[in-house]
Structure 1
Amino acid sequence: MYLPLVVGVDGSEPSLRAVDWAADEAALHAVPLLVVFGTLWERYEGAALARELDGASADARADDIIEAAARRARRRHPHLVVTTETVPDEAEHALVCAGRNASMIIVGSRGRSGIADRLLGSVSRTVAAGSDCPVVVLRGNHDNRALGGGNGPVVVGVGEPSASVLRLAFTEARLRDVPLAAVRAWRCPAHEAIDHPLLAGEPVRPYEQRAARELEAALEDAPPDVAVRRHTVEGPARAVLPAASAEADLLVIGRRTQGRLGRVAHAVLHRSACPVVVVPERT
């Protein structure tokens, strides 16, 4: 039995657009879709509902929200198995719990608060930090579609080798029939570039070469049916990866610490121009 893909909704326009993306992704992976609504979402995100829910009464609002989302997914993919769950809990807790038996969680980058899209909502940030399964945060102009956006590559940030991150990135590239762009950021310490006598004239070359070797080692088991582009880029990963997202359809990164986003993941989630998958790394 395949684990479902989970999408969180709160009745806002961004969350219903996330249902479109999630339905595409579930159909792509041939897994069921579970739509989850944590009824205490309003406590943090306000009460601005999507236009199609403007007529909902306060008593019926939870049922209206979850059913509108399910109908939207079924219209998009009539053969997709769609189930719903309304949980009397905060949204982030409801989604993290649902993720314990899920293949992936999809969340919008913001909810009903009306905060500018460049800012990351508290729910999406908390779920991305605490989930046991990969979490997709829908950033940038994703055009409501998991497939066929700009036909850009899947980008994966490669730090220390992580089989779970690379495995998911290869799978997403294969299913989308697009190349995988593997990006390794590197930096030359400023004091060595200036002071180290052996590095005079070409101080950055050893660091670039080491980054290329590390990238090649990480991709040693790349499947033959995925075209892989290798990129070593000078600069901090928290700047390099958002820049790489500009032409991508999906950006895949790892998360090492349960319950906390590192500096790189935090920066990427705030600045990416495309949807971001945060993959918990098993240590």
Structure 2
Amino acid sequence: MDLPIVVGVDGSEPSLRAVEWAADEAALRGAGLRLVYASLWERYEGGFLAHDVSKPSEETMAEDIVDTAERRGRRRQPGVQVTTFLFPDAPEYALVRESQTALAVVMGCRGRSGVTEALLGSVSVMVAAHAHCPVIVLRGSHDNQAHPGAHGRIVLGVGEKPAGSAAVRFAIEEALLRGVPLEAVRAWRRPAHATTGHPLITGEPAHLYEQQAVEALEEAFRDVPDGLRVQRRTVEARTRDALLAASREADLLVVGARRRHGHFGLQLGRVAHGVLHHAACPVAVVPETA
């Protein structure tokens, strides 16, 4: 079964920008585009309006939203197959459910509520924390238009267990599809309260921790596909700060989010949570199974 790119739409301009961005992604991957609008309106209005011959106003609005999104997607990429779906459900639950059969879920950084872009909406956070596939949240543009990559670079935050990680595979695939270099960033920090007499940190403690970061990058890219240029970079900084700085010159920032079986809380992690709120470019959160 060919999996689609799923987009959560709500009628806002950021969500329409997400449709355009996802249409480009679908064209790159030869995938379909599935536009999803979810709302609880039917649960509350359906019973009261069952005998009304006209459609409920919320239903009419929902149809207008998906029709507008469909036109935007088809205009952006006429060759991509577009389908639309309306669900009488909370959007976060509908999108997490949709993520089980999707290549990726794409969302705008804020919706119709008008919350400032610096404060990511709760729906985006919830979906990124629980989705079964990569979730891409469009940050970084303020004109509500999706533009081709301006920087020609994908940035990957390399985590604690990089070998064979889903985030590494996703970032490699994105870079190859776009024909751009991949910049792999590994941050490191010396312990704040290191004891100079400890055998592991006497002499050159900074060099020790930097070397561990270098080894993590080498492990992550032991086998680099032909045609991919990887720029490995270590940074002495907090991981979040290093990735936020790198996002200013990237077209996409990729981070992993570890999923723990049997754990039902927010499974996002501080780094992924931080870059989702403050990155200067779109962010892809890729689930990793612990």
Q: Which residue of 1 aligns with 2:286?
A: 279
Q: Aligned AA for 2:70? A: A
How many Å separate the matches in 2 of 1:63 and 1:191?
A: 59
Give how far 1:203 is off. 3.1
In terms of mean alpha carbon deviation, does 243-252 or 203-212 score higher? 203-212
How many Å separate the matches in 2 of 1:12 and 1:142?
A: 13
RMSD: 2.2
Give the number of the structure whose alpha-carbon radius of gyration is greater.
2
TM-score (norm 2): 0.87
Is 1:89 paired with 2:89?
Answer: yes
- Whether the 8 Å contact between 2:157 and 2:184 is mirrored in structure 1 is yes
Question: What are the Cα deviations for residues 144-187 of structure 1, in whole angstroms up to 9, with x where unaligned?
Answer: 43x63213310011112142111110010011111000011111
Q: Aligned AA for 1:269? A: L
Q: Which residue of 1 aligns with 2:165?
A: 163
How many Å separate the matches in 2 of 1:86 and 1:24?
A: 23
Correspondence for 2:175 among 166, 173, 176: 173
Count of residue correspondences: 270
How many Å separate the matches in 1 of 2:224 and 2:40?
A: 43
Give how far 1:58 is off. 4.4
- Whether the 8 Å contact between 1:105 and 1:136 is mirrored in structure 2 is yes
How many Å separate the matches in 2 of 1:66 and 1:130?
A: 24
Q: Which residue of 2 aligns with 1:236?
A: 238
How many Å separate the matches in 1 of 2:37 and 2:21?
A: 17
Is 1:152 paired with 2:159?
Answer: no
| Structure 2 unaligned regions, length at least 5 | 42-56, 261-265
How many Å separate the matches in 2 of 1:37 and 1:139?
A: 20
How many Å separate the matches in 2 of 1:198 and 1:25?
A: 47
Q: Does the C-alpha gap of structure 1 residues 83 and 187 become closer, same or farther in structure 2, counting only changes over 3 Å?
A: same
Q: Which residue of 2 aligns with 1:47?
A: none
**Partner SS state of residue 191, structure 1:** coil
| Structure 1 unaligned regions, length at least 5 | 42-56
Percent identity, aligned pairs only?
A: 56
Q: Which residue of 2 aligns with 1:114?
A: 114
**Partner SS state of residue 40, structure 2:** coil
- Whether the 8 Å contact between 2:259 and 2:289 is mirrored in structure 1 is no
Q: Aligned AA for 1:185? A: A
- Whether the 8 Å contact between 2:239 and 2:271 is mirrored in structure 1 is yes
Q: Does the C-alpha gap of structure 1 residues 75 and 18 become closer, same or farther in structure 2, counting only changes over 3 Å?
A: same
- Whether the 8 Å contact between 2:20 and 2:72 is mirrored in structure 1 is yes
Q: Does the C-alpha gap of structure 1 residues 37 and 213 become closer, same or farther in structure 2, counting only changes over 3 Å?
A: same
TM-score (norm 1): 0.89
Question: What are the Cα deviations for residues 92-143 of structure 1, in whole angstroms up to 9, with x where unaligned?
Answer: 1111111111110001111111111111001100000010011001111287
Residues 1-283 of structure 1 aligned to structure 2 (within 5 Å)? 1-40=1-40, 58-141=58-141, 144-145=145-146, 148-159=148-159, 160-161=161-162, 162-192=164-194, 196=198, 199=201, 202-257=204-259, 259-283=266-290
Question: What are the Cα deviations for residues 229-249 of structure 1, in whole angstroms up to 9, with x where unaligned?
Answer: 000111111211111111000
Question: What are the Cα deviations for residues 196-255 of structure 1, in whole angstroms up to 9, with x where unaligned?
Answer: 587567431111111101211111022121100000111111211111111000000001
Q: Aligned AA for 1:275? A: P
How many Å separate the matches in 2 of 1:11 and 1:225?
A: 40
Q: Does the C-alpha gap of structure 1 residues 148 and 16 become closer, same or farther in structure 2, counting only changes over 3 Å?
A: closer
How many Å separate the matches in 2 of 1:72 and 1:198?
A: 58
Q: Does the C-alpha gap of structure 1 residues 142 and 7 become closer, same or farther in structure 2, counting only changes over 3 Å?
A: farther
- Whether the 8 Å contact between 1:19 and 1:73 is mirrored in structure 2 is yes
Q: Which residue of 2 aligns with 1:48?
A: none
How many Å separate the matches in 2 of 1:84 and 1:176?
A: 27
**Partner SS state of residue 256, structure 1:** strand
Q: Aligned AA for 2:211? A: Q
